[in-house]
Structure 1
Amino acid sequence: MRKLMLLLLMFASLMLSACSLLEKANSSLEYVNQATEHINNLSDFAEQAPRMIQDASLNSEAKQELENRLNSLKKDIEHFNLTKAPSVAKDIHQQLVEKNKLLLQEINQVVDNGHLSLDKIQNSQLLNTINDVTSLINRINSLGL
């Protein structure tokens, strides 16, 4: 009877540790998906931005659309920075947060008092910083393996 109880206890212990591993894997996969979506949003903006900036210099509706897009991007960045990363992704998440903080500073510099300054955005490092962030995608994707 003791052997049976010991065996059941060992089995239960193994099951709990397996559940813990599964939970960590799910957490990592969820983070990879969130980070990938975040980077894809930044990448999409970086691809569209040169055209949007050019259009914004020609008409006020396009300028308002670009301003709205930057404000939306700012909210997305702030939201992502609050994401809790699994332990396996702590380092990469910290790098993303640091780059995101630079992006926020750059967005704040080009959107002055709630209004987009075309001169400032054309001379900013915003797109270069976004490209720096997107370069982290391979490291993030390797977390999901």
Structure 2
Amino acid sequence: MRKLWIGILITVGLVLGGCSFVEEANNTVSYVNEATSYLNEVNDFVNEVPAIASEAVNDPQTLTELESKLIDMKNEIQSFSEVQAPEITADLHQQILDYSQQAEEGIDLYLTHIEEGKFDPSILEDAELFQTLEEITTIVDEIKQLGL
């Protein structure tokens, strides 16, 4: 009887351990999908905003569009900062969050300039904002290379 209970306990332990592994794998796949979606949003922003900013100097409607793009990117950054990363990607995730924080601060600066009527597209040309966002894409690529 004692051997039966030991066998049952070992089996239960193996099953529960296996469930944990499957859950971690699912969490990792979900995280990679979220990070990829975030990367796509960042890439779109980096590719679209400079041209919009150049047009925004002479066109109030385009300036409104730029402001909207900046707000949308800020919201994306805030949403991604709430994503829980699996242990395997924790360090890379923290790097993304650090760069995202820097990018959000840059976005806040540009929004302030727009609100104060001081918008100048040259502030975007040498912007750390775009360099910071490009760093995010590099890190997300590293996550993808983990084979997850």
Q: Give the conservation status (yes or no) of the 8 Å contact 2:28–2:86.
A: yes
Percent identity between matched residues is 30
The alignment status of 1:102 with 2:102, answered yes or no, reads yes
Gaps of 5+ in 1: none
Aligned equivalent of 1:138: 141
Range 132-141 or range 60-69, more displaced: 132-141
Task: Report the alpha carbon displacement of residue 58 of structure 1 after superposing the two structures with TM.
Answer: 3.1
Instruction: Indicate the SS of the match to 1:111.
Output: helix
Range 74-83 or range 12-21, more displaced: 74-83
Aligned equivalent of 1:36: 36
Deviations 1:86-126 (A, max 9, x none): 11111001100110011011111111166272343344222
Q: Distance in 1 between matches of 2:120 and 2:71?
A: 15
Instruction: Indicate the SS of the match to 2:14.
Output: helix
Q: Give the conservation status (yes or no) of the 8 Å contact 1:29–1:144.
A: no
Q: Give the conservation status (yes or no) of the 8 Å contact 1:77–1:100.
A: yes
The alignment status of 1:128 with 2:128, answered yes or no, reads no
Q: Give the conservation status (yes or no) of the 8 Å contact 1:39–1:137.
A: yes
Q: Give the conservation status (yes or no) of the 8 Å contact 2:50–2:124.
A: no
Q: Tell me how large the CA RMSD over aligned residues is.
A: 1.8
Q: Give the conservation status (yes or no) of the 8 Å contact 1:36–1:140.
A: no
TM-score, length basis structure 2: 0.88
Q: Distance in 1 between matches of 2:30 and 2:100?
A: 19
Q: Distance in 2 between matches of 1:100 and 1:12?
A: 43
Deviations 1:10-67 (A, max 9, x none): 1111100000001111111111111111111001111112221122123111110111
Gaps of 5+ in 2: none
Moved over 4 A (4+): none
Structure-to-structure mapping, 1:1-145, within 5 angstroms: 1-112=1-112, 115=115, 117-119=119-121, 120-143=123-146, 145=148
Please tell me the residue identity of whatever aligns with 1:126.
L
Q: Distance in 2 between matches of 1:114 and 1:49?
A: 14
TM-score, length basis structure 1: 0.89
